[in-house]
Amino acid sequence: MGFDVSSHPVDVALIQTRVLPYLRGQGTPGDLDDLVAEAVRHAKVRFRANAWGLGLVALKASDEAAAKGNRKARTPTPPAVPKSFDPDLHVWGRPYFVTAPTPDVSAVIDRYLAATPTQADAIAMEQLHALHPNLPNLVQPDTEGALPDDDVLARGLREDLELLRASWDHLASGKPVKMSDGESVDPEDLFLFTMPLSVLTFASHLQPGWMARGHVWFTQYVTDAGLDADGLIESSAGLFEPLLKGIGGWEEAFQATITQNYALGGYVRPANVPAFRVWWEAHQAELIAPFAAENDADTGAVCWLKVREALLDAERRKFAFVEATEVYSGFMGVMN
């Protein structure tokens, strides 16, 4: 079973004071307009930043093809892309396109978050220059694909939330909810098993997470290492309590680890993030050891680092921290 997993700094206040009341039908249909407009801007900045990262991936592939030909011709030439470039971290890991050292990653993310799509080019060029001064002259942004118009982007961002808002009264009546594909679902199932990922996905457009693929979510690390995280990890049930507390047994619907696709897993509340970050760093060797035993220490190390960086980002912002599946997918071209 494959998982596209992600680690997210979570703005609890945004979710509990803006999004969940909206889903309960409070306020007016336009109450999220400001957040949607911001998310559209972020989507355009993210698309442009990732175009530069993918352009660098293409240059690296060109380097590797040239090196293969040079070995046959015995005419070695130095690669244009330095070995310090790690696509799994810099492109399919961190949000946007960031090559800065770990302590500086959040500051670069802040700059992207404040940028216009045009300004994203300058930030990405700086990230290229940080790897090697020649790279800004050698890399061309990837031109495959295009974003929809702003109105289409906005509708896509709102679609799941609008369905949930329109379905809120079904919880009291028990009337099935008709989905866009024509199928009908139980309203409690919709709010217990679909709503959490929809809300986190919307929030991730405003504050991005780190992406990875495989059995590399943080609670899987803890389990595989046979460790106990001192009670710092729980399910994300409490994050959604203001919306779900009227549904019987709602707490049991949430798991404190990832058990399936399209779901949330382990959650660390804001007050516990600093302690968990310290714990994560203190147990680095033990957490990576199971990967080393499978001759995959490099994957274990880089994905451990992704979790650490996301924790540092959450700690800096005084946010919560949660793992999820299928928010992003490198295979499908859905990037952070």
81-95 pLDDT, tens digit each: 999 999 999 999 999
Q: How does residue 2 score in pLDDT terms, banded at 50, 70 and 90?
A: confident
Q: What number is the average pLDDT over the span 179-196? A: 93
DSSP assignments along 62-82, one per residue = HHHHHHHHHHHHT-----SS-
Q: Report the alpha-carbon distance of residue 64 to residue 119 in Å, rounded.
A: 31
Q: Which amino acid is at 175?
A: K
Radius of gyration of the chain (CA): 21
Provide the pairing of β-strand 4-10 with 210-213.
antiparallel
pLDDT number for residue 71: 60
Residue 181 burial class via C-beta count within 10 angstroms: exposed 0-12, middle 13-18, buried 19 and up = exposed
**Six-digit token pair at 92?**
């399919």
Helix (H, G, I), strand (E, B) or coil at 59: helix
Q: Using CA atoms, how far apart are residues 313 and 105, in angstroms rounded to an integer?
A: 8
3-state SS class at 265: strand
Share above pLDDT 90 across residues of the chain, in percent, rounded to a whole number: 89
Q: What is the mean pLDDT of the chain?
A: 95
Rounded-to-integer distance, Cα 155 and Cα 36, Å: 9
Q: By mean pLDDT, which of 10-14, 64-68, 74-78, 260-264 is the weakest?
A: 74-78
Q: Return the SS3 of 335.
A: coil
Instruction: Give residue for tokens 């799941």.
Output: 160
- Percent of the chain surpassing pLDDT 70: 97
Please give the helix or strand (H or E) that residue 305 lies within, else none: helix 297-317
> 309 falls in which pLDDT band (50, 70, 90)?
very high
Task: Please tell me whether residue 260 adopts helix, strand or coil conformation.
Answer: coil
Return the pLDDT at 237. 97
Which H or E run contains 274? helix 273-282
Is the CA virtual torsion 162, 168, 169, 175 positive or negative? positive
Please give the single-letter amino acid code of residue 170.
H
Greatest CA separation found in the chain? 76
CA distances from 158 to 22, 148, 199, 201, 333 (A): 11, 14, 10, 11, 20
Of 245, 264, 255, nearest in space to 195 by CA: 264
Does the pLDDT of residue 25 top 80, yes or no? yes
Residue 236 to residues 11, 59, 125, 192, 209: CA-CA distances in angstroms?
A: 13, 41, 38, 11, 16
- Residue 19 · residue 202 · CB < 8 Å: yes
Separation of alpha carbons 110 and 95, rounded Å: 11
Judge whether 283 and 221 are in contact, CB under 8 Å.
Answer: no
pLDDT at 248: 87
Residue-wise pLDDT for 53-83, tens only, equals 999 999 999 988 887 766 665 556 677 899 9
> Which residue matches tokens 């961190």?
94
DSSP assignment letter at 29: T
What's the confidence (pLDDT) of residue 312?
A: 98
Give the pLDDT mean for 135-152. 94
Higher pLDDT, 26 or 72: 26
